[in-house]
């Protein structure tokens, strides 16, 4: 028979009794490992060295006893059976030691009962140990759960059937404005008044076992303010599987929704900008022909000629159309600019008298200009256009008088403050704030005011604020608007301040009055009518002109010239097969010393980044007049 191993600490001073006990244990199916002690010191030492399965103690020893041994076992903290095996003692002593915590009392004359008592106590001991371990695990689990709940960024609330709060974590305090002490055992209002019926219906569904996940609902702060949340409700069941409470999780998604709206708006504006830029490019090609041809006709007619007036109307109309196209290019950030170091304050100060003359009666203008305002890199003329557009709009919004405030300041913005502003980074910005006390705008109008052709004015073009938006974006900044019906509007423009290493742009050399010449010019343009117009203008002023519609023709011309110098390449930028930049690069080995002048309605990234020309690149923007064409050609050939 295979015996069960067991470790026994034996408190016994008689060798024969020890042998008798061990024999009884082996006969009962145990294989004892034992240590025998006779004093309290030895017993405490044995308890300190290892964990024992059971302690078997004689009642009386010469210098020790069962009650003292039991006390030593309790001091050790071990929960193991303590069985007294002794000769005949009084019933009173036996009862006393059992009351003190001994597991059993067996006389040495009745050892047959030892095995059954030992097996029972070992089972009870194992059961107690398992229960303690389970309780410890449960406590640890509860502590981990509480730690997780307290660390959760979600407002976590447990509601009893009565609706009273049973659990309230720190995130709930931050969201609802109530401390744990204020919420536990109470009936706080968790949702806004308008969502109360919906919330009550969902709670009723949870009591019947339903769950709700990621439901958007407006929560209510103790102050009365509201915030948009994503809420989940799930039933909590007791040991019998009955729903006795419910768990509510709230996540604040107000900022996320705001960022999503801003992203959607930015994507929409970008799409409109690309469309506007594409349309502007096509119109610029058409307007180059219309304005150029009408200009040539006017040059051949006298003012008293009946046709002069007709041609002049065509030319003026074309110029107005060109202005609209330039506004579209400003919005789409494809207008070419050469930014310089500038400050808001000088521009506004210079414009102040003119701005006051624009304002209606009863409108006061207040200037609050920060004398320490830092400089930015921008186009001063474009910035004047921004100020003018915003002031005109503010004036139109104050039909019955009011106050216009123009304020500048340096502002340090964190990454959190520029979130949602595409391309914006943390740093120092020069800000321009233009506020009015006019009629204000609703949120739907605010969402569309920067779109091209959207206008709230009768007869308005809808390009004023679109142009402002594009100019600010092209300068690397952003613009925001806040408004409320009946309380006015505030536009805030933020441009990144110029770094110390930035230097003012070097002014170009002045042009010369002589616009004719005899040099050889290669013109590359895929629009046949523009190609013909440019060639006629240049030839009329003495230049030798070669024309090509693409790279293949241009390359062939350069090779056939056989040493004849090409002084200037005038090429469109955006063409099929090969761009103007690539054509210039491919012809450079064949035409040493050749200068390059680009022309385009807008340029590609090869020579333009966000509307800013690369150093050394000259661009003739369509639509252009013959006079401008001749001046730029002459300036470039003369090295200006």
- pLDDT, tens digit, for every residue of 535-577? 989 998 999 999 999 888 888 888 887 667 899 999 988 887 7
pLDDT score at 380: 80
Radius of gyration of the chain measured on its C-alpha atoms = 46
Q: Give the pLDDT of residue 234.
A: 93
Confidence of residue 615 (pLDDT cuts 50, 70, 90): low
Least confident range from 50-64, 71-85, 275-289: namely 275-289
CA angle at 174 for the pair 168 and 178, rounded to the nearest 5°: 60
Question: Average pLDDT for residues 92-108, to the nearest whole number?
Answer: 86
The SS3 assignment for 636 reads: helix
Q: Considering only 257-271, 340-354, 609-623, which range has the smallest mean pLDDT? A: 609-623
Are 280 and 328 in contact by the 8 Å Cβ rule? The answer is yes
Going from N- to C-terminal start, the domains of the chain cover 4-129, 152-252, 258-331, 340-496, 520-637
pLDDT value of position 507: 38
**DSSP, res 109:** G
- For the stretch 218-272, pLDDT in tens is 999 998 888 999 999 999 988 888 999 999 999 999 888 877 776 776 676 667 6
Instruction: Name 21's Cβ contacts closer than 8 Å, sequence gap at least 6.
Output: 10, 12, 56, 85, 111, 114
Taking Cα atoms as reference points, which of 566, 553, 555, 574 lies closest to residue 621?
Answer: 574
Q: Above 50 in pLDDT, residue 44?
A: yes
pLDDT at 351 over 90: no
Which CATH code of 2.60.40.1120, 3.40.50.300, 3.30.450.20, 3.90.1010.10 fits the domain covering 152-252?
3.30.450.20
What is the pLDDT, as a whole number, of residue 327?
A: 59
Q: Which parts of 562-621 fold into alpha helices (H)? A: 580-587
CA distances (Å), origin 162, targets 155, 158, 186, 245: 20, 11, 10, 9
Residue 206 confidence class, pLDDT cut points 50, 70, 90: very high
Most confident of the following: 399-403, 488-492, 530-534, 586-590: 488-492
Q: What confidence score (pLDDT) does residue 282 get? A: 74
pLDDT of 296: 80
**Burial track 465-485 (b if 16+ CB lie within 10 A, e otherwise):** bbbbbbbbbbbbbbbeeebee
Q: Which CATH architecture has domain 4-129?
A: 3-Layer(aba) Sandwich (3.40)
Distances (CA, A) of 69 to 39, 46, 53, 90, 93: 9, 12, 15, 19, 15
Q: What gap in Å lies between CA 586 and CA 580, rounded to an integer?
A: 10
Longest dimension (CA), the chain: 150
Please give the residue that has the higher pLDDT: either 157 or 131: 157
At residue 503 the predicted structure's pLDDT band, cuts being 50, 70 and 90, is very low
CA 166 to chain centre: 35
Query: What pLDDT is recorded for position 458?
Result: 60
Residue 389 has pLDDT above 70, yes or no: yes
Residue 501: per-residue pLDDT: 52
Helix, coil or strand: residue 416: coil
Please check whether residue 48 is in contact with residue 76, taking contact to mean a CB–CB distance below 8 angstroms: yes
What tokens does 93 get? 């002593």
- Determine the pLDDT at residue 500: 55
Q: What is the pLDDT of residue 301?
A: 83
4-129 and 520-637 share one fold:
yes
> For 398-426, how does the pLDDT look when each residue is reduced to its tens digit (9 = 90+)?
888 899 999 999 999 888 787 767 668 88
Cβ(214)–Cβ(229) below 8 Å = no
Q: What's the confidence (pLDDT) of residue 162?
A: 86
Whether pLDDT at 320 is above 90: no
Q: What percent of the chain has pLDDT over 70?
A: 87
- Residue range 340-496 forms a domain whose CATH class is alpha beta
Is the Cβ–Cβ distance between 555 and 584 less than 8 Å? no
Mean pLDDT (the chain, rounded): 83
- Alpha-carbon torsion (386, 390, 392, 393), positive or negative: positive
Report the CATH fold assignment for 258-331. Answer: Helix Hairpins (1.10.287)
CATH topology of domain 520-637: Rossmann fold (3.40.50)
More reliable by pLDDT, 35 or 473: 35
504 band by pLDDT with thresholds 50, 70 and 90: very low
Q: Residue 593 pairs with which residues in a beta bridge? A: none
| Other C-beta atoms lying within 10 Å of the C-beta of residue 636 | 17
d(CA 406, CA 205) in angstroms, rounded, equals: 56
Pick from 46-55, 229-238, 402-411, 612-621: least confident: 612-621
Gap between the Cα atoms of 640 and 637, Å rounded: 8
pLDDT for res 513 = 37
Question: What is the distance between the alpha carbons of residues 599 and 393, in angstroms, rounded to a whole number?
Answer: 35
The conformational region for residue 462 under phi > 0 = left, psi -120 to 50 = alpha, else beta, is: left
Cα within 13 Å of Cα(257), Cβ side: 11
How is the beta sheet containing 363-368 ordered, strand by strand?
Answer: 363-368, 402-413, 427-436, 488-496, 478-484
Q: Are strands 478-484 and 488-496 parallel, antiparallel or unpaired?
A: antiparallel
**How many angstroms separate the CA atoms of 91 and 112, rounded?**
20
Q: What is the tally of helices (H) and strands (E) in the chain?
A: 18, 26
Q: Which residues contact 528 (CB under 8 A, 6 or more apart)?
A: 549
User: What are the pLDDT digits (tens) for 422-461?
Assistant: 668 888 999 999 999 988 888 888 888 887 767 777 655 5
Do the beta carbons of residue 11 and residue 86 sit within 8 Å?
no
């Amino acid at each position: 028979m295979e015996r069960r191993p067991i470790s026994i600490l034996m408190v016994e001073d008689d060798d024969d009794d020890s042998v008798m006990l061990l024999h009884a244990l082996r006969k009962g199916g145990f294989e004892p490992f034992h240590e025998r002690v006779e004093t309290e010191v030895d017993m405490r030492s044995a308890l300190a060295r290892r964990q024992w399965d059971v302690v078997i103690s004689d009642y009386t020893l010469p210098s020790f006893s069962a009650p003292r041994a039991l006390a030593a076992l309790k001091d050790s903290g071990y929960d193991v059976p303590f069985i007294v095996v002794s000769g005949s003692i009084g019933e009173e002593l036996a009862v006393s030691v059992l009351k003190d915590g001994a597991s059993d009392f067996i006389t040495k004359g009745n050892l047959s009962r030892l095995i059954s008592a030992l097996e029972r106590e070992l089972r009870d001991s194992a059961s107690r140990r398992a229960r303690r371990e389970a309780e410890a695990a449960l406590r640890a689990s509860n502590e981990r759960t509480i730690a997780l709940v307290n660390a959760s960024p979600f407002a976590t609330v447990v509601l009893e059937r009565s609706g009273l709060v049973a659990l309230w974590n720190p995130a709930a305090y931050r969201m609802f404005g109530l401390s744990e002490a204020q919420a536990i055992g109470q009936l706080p209002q968790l949702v806004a008044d308008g969502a109360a019926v919906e919330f009550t219906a969902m709670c009723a569904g949870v009591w019947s076992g339903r769950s709700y996940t990621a439901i958007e609902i407006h929560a209510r702060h103790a102050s009365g303010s509201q915030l948009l949340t994503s809420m989940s409700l799930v039933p909590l069941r007791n040991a019998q599987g009955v729903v006795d409470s419910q768990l509510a999780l709230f996540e604040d998604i107000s900022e996320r929704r705001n960022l999503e709206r801003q992203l959607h708006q930015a994507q929409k504006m970008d799409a409109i900008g690309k469309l506007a830029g594409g349309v502007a490019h096509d119109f610029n090609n058409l307007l180059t022909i219309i304005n150029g041809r009408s200009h040539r006709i006017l040059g051949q007619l006298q003012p008293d000629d009946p046709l002069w007036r007709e041609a002049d109307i065509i030319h003026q109309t074309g110029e107005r159309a060109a202005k609209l196209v330039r506004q579209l290019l400003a919005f789409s950030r494809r207008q070419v600019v050469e930014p310089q170091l500038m400050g808001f304050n000088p521009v506004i100060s210079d414009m102040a008298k003119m701005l006051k003359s624009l304002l209606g009666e009863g409108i006061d203008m207040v200037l609050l200009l920060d004398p320490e305002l830092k400089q930015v890199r921008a186009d001063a003329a474009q910035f004047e256009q921004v100020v003018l557009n915003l002031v005109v709009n503010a004036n139109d919004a104050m039909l019955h008088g009011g106050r216009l405030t123009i304020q500048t300041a340096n502002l340090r913005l964190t990454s959190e403050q520029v979130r949602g502003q595409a391309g914006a980074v943390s740093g120092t910005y020069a800000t321009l704030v233009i506020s009015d006390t006019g009629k204000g705008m609703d949120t739907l109008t605010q969402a569309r005011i920067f779109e091209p052709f959207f206008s709230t004015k009768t007869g308005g073009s809808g390009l004023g604020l679109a142009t402002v938006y594009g100019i600010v974006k092209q300068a690397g900044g952003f613009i925001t608007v806040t408004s409320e019906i009946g309380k006015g509007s505030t536009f805030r423009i933020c441009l990144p301040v110029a770094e110390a290493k930035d230097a003012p742009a070097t002014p170009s050399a002045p042009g010369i009055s002589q616009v004719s010449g005899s040099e050889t010019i290669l013109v590359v343009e895929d629009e046949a009518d523009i190609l013909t117009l440019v060639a006629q203008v240049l030839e009329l002023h003495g230049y030798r002109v070669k024309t090509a519609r693409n790279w293949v023709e241009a390359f062939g011309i350069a090779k056939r010239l056989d040493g004849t110098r090409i002084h200037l390449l005038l090429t469109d930028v955006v063409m099929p097969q090969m761009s103007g930049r690539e054509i210039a690069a491919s012809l450079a080995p064949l035409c040493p010393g050749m200068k390059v002048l680009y022309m385009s309605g807008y340029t590609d990234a090869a020579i333009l980044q966000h509307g800013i020309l690369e150093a050394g690149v000259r661009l003739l923007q369509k639509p252009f007049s013959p006079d401008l064409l001749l001046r730029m050609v002459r300036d470039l050939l003369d090295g200006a």
